[in-house]
Structure 1
Amino acid sequence: MQSSLIVSSMTMLSRVMGLARDVLFARYLGAEASADAFYIAFKIPNFLRRLFAEGAFAQAFVPVLSEYRARGSHAAVRQFVDAIAGSLGSALIVITLLVVVAAPLVTAIFGMGFFLNNPEKFELTTSLLRITFPYLLLISLTGFAGAILNSYDRFAVPAFTPVLLNAVLIIAAVVVSPMLETPVYALAWGVVVAGVIQLLFQLPFLMRLGLLPHPRVDWGDESVRKVLKLMAPAMFGVSVGQINLLLDTILASFLPDGSITWLYFSDRLTELPLGVFGIGIATVVLPTLARQHIDDVTQFSKTLDWALRMILLIGLPAALALAVLAEPILFALFQYDNYRPEDVRMSSYSLRAYAIGLTAFMLIKVLASGFFSRQDTRTPVRVGVIAMVANMVLNLLFVVPLHYLWGIGHAGLALATSASAFLNAGLLFHLLRKQKAYCPQSGWGRFALRSLFANCMMVAVLLVGLTWASDMVTVAWHTRIAEVLGLCGAGMAIYLTCLWVSGLRLADLKA
């Protein structure tokens, strides 16, 4: 519980800084073509980061590292870390060089609509991608260092590291971008500088553990082969959500200018509770589950049960609040200068669609850990394939009618992603139960009734509050922020009060 709070608090700081960064992006870039170009150029290395850093790599690396630690030999752990560092680093260098050289081809894949319909936008995206893509190498090595620290229960440092990215990008947006003819270049270079700073920040903490890597490339090493064997299917299984988002980006490149930016800001607001609580809880329980799988199978199930309850306790009210307060939140945060009221309205459609799937996104993070901690990467892959195919089919079912009937095709992309996330989470849950890896503990009936009561009361308070709120288009920015904070505070207060009145106590939340 304490470790989860540490990770969540550090991640909260990072996400708040990220919101401040996005507010400045909205102010300086708006929802113009150059903004769409930057978000694609930034999203591509970030997507691969989920594979090579905190996603599939961490899911494969942490359980194997836990095995080496259990043997009690620090020298063996060092050799393992050195071999992985050399192999991962060399692979990333090759991938980075290939993508930088083949940037037009990569841009044509992920920004197909730019390639076919907007040559200037395509050229700008290609140039920005050549600058931002080396971030993959830097942030993946940072994620590697963070995975080691997490395995030794040093959660605070990796959780704090993303703050540095946001700080550098804020400086780039405010100080550097006004000096350039094309402001987005400042943000692209800021991404690379931030990657260097993030990596250097974590190295002293590895040194204290005596695990500062001395990379050696040895693809024949037994530990490297084992991690690769686990990582290959996990690369797909844990990243289905990100793959779906990139498919959305490809389709969105065919939609009107601004669609990618509307989706970006909607996704960023969804990522706040997902990153603070969903990823935070999953990060903490993965090494714990990996150890318990070896030592105590009963406790493994109890830990997973605790994580699922925590996700529902936090994720469901967050999803409902985002859906109800979509427009006020977007107005308060982003409607300045270049980001128009019409952009806010369009973003609100996709934000509500993403909010529908928020709880499922969070559940997937924990449920997937239930498999990866047992070194079972094949099952999430099979589930991931089903979910991705479903997402592609749903994209066609939702996007076409929403685009041609109401001009909100981007919301159809978000809705398809949410629907496929529920399918993904449901199948993972079913298979954990079928494999008898997870057995629900007692008290779920009482928990469900308390949650239903508290969430219904919270939504009622938020809806009543909206009837008293000002017209966000006409009031000053500080009034918008004050009213949104007031609504959020009132909703949280009534939610927590209802939980307490219904009998939930802090002692019930202990792992």
Structure 2
Amino acid sequence: MTREMAERLFRSTAIVSCMTFLSRILGFLRDIVIARMFGAGMGADVFFVAFKIPNFLRRLFAEGAFSQAFVPVLAEYRQRGERDLRELIHHTSGTLFTILFVITLIGVLASPLLIMLFAPGFISEPEKLDLASQMLAITFPYLLFISLTALSGSILNAFGKFAVPAFTPVFLNISLIAAAIWLAPILDEPVKALAWGVFIGGIVQLLFQLPFLLKIHIRPKPRWGWRHEGVQKILRLMLPGMFGVSVAQINLLLDTILASFLVTGSISWLYYSDRLVEFPLGVFGIALATVILPSLSRQHASDSVQSFSDTIDWALRWVLLIGVPAAIGLILLAEPLLVTLFQYGEFTRYDAHQSSLSLMAYGLGLLPFILIKVLAPGFFARQDTKTPVKIGIIAMAVNMVLNIILMIYLAHVGLALATALSAMLNAGLLYIGLRKRNVYQPAAGWLKFTAKLVLATTGMIAVLIWLTPQIGDWHEWSGRLRFQVLMGLIAASAISYFVLLHLLGIRVKSLIRPRQRDF
């Protein structure tokens, strides 16, 4: 990989990471507000189900399969000329809007049936089922708004404008926080305010991106274009990709379905632990995947085989460099994190402990989750959606079996552990697939790089274990003291890790500006 390319990819990844970091911080604030006001009781369980269904479909259709299929085709059409590019955008936006409008209408009308399908444990509790159905009817249109937002974001990303799409989710968090604080107190059923917050947040996110499309002289004029060559190609890539790229999300949804049969609070415990895993996954993993997909697509379109492999190699080194310590930090600091962020008001000490158990299990899957985000674009950029689908089917089948077995013995923790184990299998098979096709050939220096990484990580673990107070102290401290100690631990572990990396000879700058292959 050339120095210029590495610098460009790193700069773009840093921009997306910073914007995503801001969004995730607001997301934590949102969750803190929800935890304080609604705890882990019936209302919270119901909202998380009503939000998870359109959010799952959003990741499946919009940020998952659609983006992975649309960006490579967009890169291809950019080489054909401006006229063909605009026609593709017009027909794609019109077709996507029409299909999603119909799906949204069906979702709103069939909300009770969808709740029975996605949370069958609610059937035996009519009050839960009725409230969840009402809230899903409010939240389901979010799918339409956020999918069109994803279309706009994909276009901006393809033109190298990464900051705006990464910043956009901030508005959903602001909307939910505002709804919880100001709308909830005036409603007969306060938790319904959260559903309206989702609805409003979807609209605001879409409206925010439109002016930035105009700045790059893109004015989508939606037209029905089912028969358009580019739309057909996107659909051919998208349909199998809907499964392949979103296996992790399907597994998380299966966790919710099965958790609906467990004790009240199980869904919320899984939600809060998943949110903490989503922080490093979004700030780094998804940011990295967002940046490398357009680059890989251009390299494939121009037959730059070596550059394609070098880009994947560069991304994998960054995944290990950041993902390994992040996963270990989540596991070792699971309960302190949850106590510090959420144990206030209605969210009890017991809720924090139960959530920490599932967080440790999810933490085992953080590195595989990130690897999937980076390895899957290696297939999709080459317009190969069949291989990830086959791998996804295997991973999901294994997850289903593990869910049932582990849930019997470990309840909600077993569901989280099953998801982590199936993610490991998924990532491993994706890696093997790229190697077998000679799409990716590891550059020199991996053995030395890995050995040094293990030593630095071991040192960081020793520092964390030595400095972390007993959990009983965390429960007694004020929120401010908890936060100060937690930030101190994170800073100490990060400093020790990167100092050890430097002493062992791994120069982070060499990954930004590579001059040699041994790092």
Say yes or no: TM over 0.5: yes
Whether 2:52 is the aligned partner of 1:43: answer: yes
Aligned to 1:103: 111
- Cα pair 1:240 1:387 within 8 Å, conserved: yes
Q: List alignment gaps of at least 5 residues for structure 2.
A: 1-9, 514-519
- Cα pair 2:184 2:192 within 8 Å, conserved: yes
Aligned to 2:290: 283
Whether 2:508 is the aligned partner of 1:506: answer: yes
Aligned to 2:7: none
Aligned to 2:154: 147
User: Separation in 1 of the partners of 2:384 and 2:260?
Assistant: 36
- Cα pair 1:33 1:258 within 8 Å, conserved: yes
Whether 2:218 is the aligned partner of 1:218: answer: no
The counterpart of 1:64, out of the listed 67, 73, 77, is 73
Match of 2:69, as an amino acid?
A
Farther off after superposition, 471-480 or 27-36: 471-480
**Cα shift readout 1:122-180 (whole Å, capped 9, x = no counterpart):** 11110000000000000000000000000000000000000111111111112221222
User: Separation in 2 of the partners of 1:421 and 1:134?
Assistant: 30
Q: List alignment gaps of at least 5 residues for structure 1.
A: 403-408
Q: Normalization by structure 2: what TM-score?
A: 0.96
User: Separation in 1 of the partners of 2:293 and 2:138?
Assistant: 34
Match of 2:488, as an amino acid?
G
- Equivalent runs, 1:401-420 vs 2, <5 Å: 401-402=409-410, 409-420=411-422
The counterpart of 1:5, out of the listed 6, 14, 27, is 14
Q: Normalization by structure 1: what TM-score?
A: 0.97
SS at match of 2:488: helix
- Cα pair 1:42 1:132 within 8 Å, conserved: yes
Whether 2:175 is the aligned partner of 1:168: answer: yes
The counterpart of 1:371, out of the listed 352, 355, 379, is 379
User: Separation in 1 of the partners of 2:61 and 2:471?
Assistant: 45
The counterpart of 2:275, out of the listed 268, 283, 286, is 268
Farther off after superposition, 47-56 or 377-386: 47-56
- Cα pair 1:323 1:351 within 8 Å, conserved: yes
Match of 2:244, as an amino acid?
G
**Cα shift readout 1:108-135 (whole Å, capped 9, x = no counterpart):** 00110001x2111011110000000000
- Cα pair 2:335 2:471 within 8 Å, conserved: no
SS at match of 1:471: helix
- Cα pair 1:469 1:483 within 8 Å, conserved: no
Match of 2:449, as an amino acid?
F
Aligned to 2:474: 472
Once the two structures are aligned, what percentage of the paired residues are identical?
55
User: Separation in 1 of the partners of 2:279 and 2:219?
Assistant: 31
User: Separation in 1 of the partners of 2:356 and 2:470?
Assistant: 20
Aligned to 1:314: 322
Whether 2:292 is the aligned partner of 1:293: answer: no
User: Separation in 1 of the partners of 2:79 and 2:202?
Assistant: 32
Aligned to 2:449: 447
User: Separation in 2 of the partners of 1:218 and 1:328?
Assistant: 52
The counterpart of 2:355, out of the listed 339, 344, 347, is 347
Whether 2:198 is the aligned partner of 1:196: answer: no
Aligned to 2:37: 28
Aligned to 1:181: 188
Displacement of 1:351 after TM fit? 0.2
SS at match of 1:473: helix
Match of 1:493, as an amino acid?
I
Aligned to 1:74: 82
**Cα shift readout 1:370-414 (whole Å, capped 9, x = no counterpart):** 000000000000000000000001112211012xxxxxx001000
SS at match of 1:55: helix
Distance 1:38 1:468, change over 3 A: closer
Match of 2:503, as an amino acid?
V
Match of 1:460, as an amino acid?
A
Aligned to 2:393: 385
Match of 1:17, as an amino acid?
L
Aligned to 1:119: 126
Aligned to 1:405: none
User: Separation in 2 of the partners of 1:177 and 1:478?
Assistant: 26
- Cα pair 2:24 2:283 within 8 Å, conserved: yes
Structure 1 runs, 4 residues or longer, greater than 3 Å off: 467-470
User: Separation in 2 of the partners of 1:176 and 1:63?
Assistant: 42
The counterpart of 1:15, out of the listed 24, 42, 66, is 24
Match of 1:81, as an amino acid?
I
SS at match of 2:359: helix
User: Separation in 2 of the partners of 1:124 and 1:213?
Assistant: 38
**Cα shift readout 1:83-107 (whole Å, capped 9, x = no counterpart):** 0000000000000000111111100
User: Separation in 1 of the partners of 2:126 and 2:73?
Assistant: 47
User: Separation in 2 of the partners of 1:122 and 1:381?
Assistant: 33
- Equivalent runs, 1:329-340 vs 2, <5 Å: 329-340=337-348
- Cα pair 1:349 1:411 within 8 Å, conserved: yes
Displacement of 1:316 after TM fit? 0.7
Whether 2:330 is the aligned partner of 1:328: answer: no
Match of 1:308, as an amino acid?
L
Displacement of 1:54 after TM fit? 1.3
Q: Aligned pair count?
A: 503
- Cα pair 1:11 1:275 within 8 Å, conserved: yes
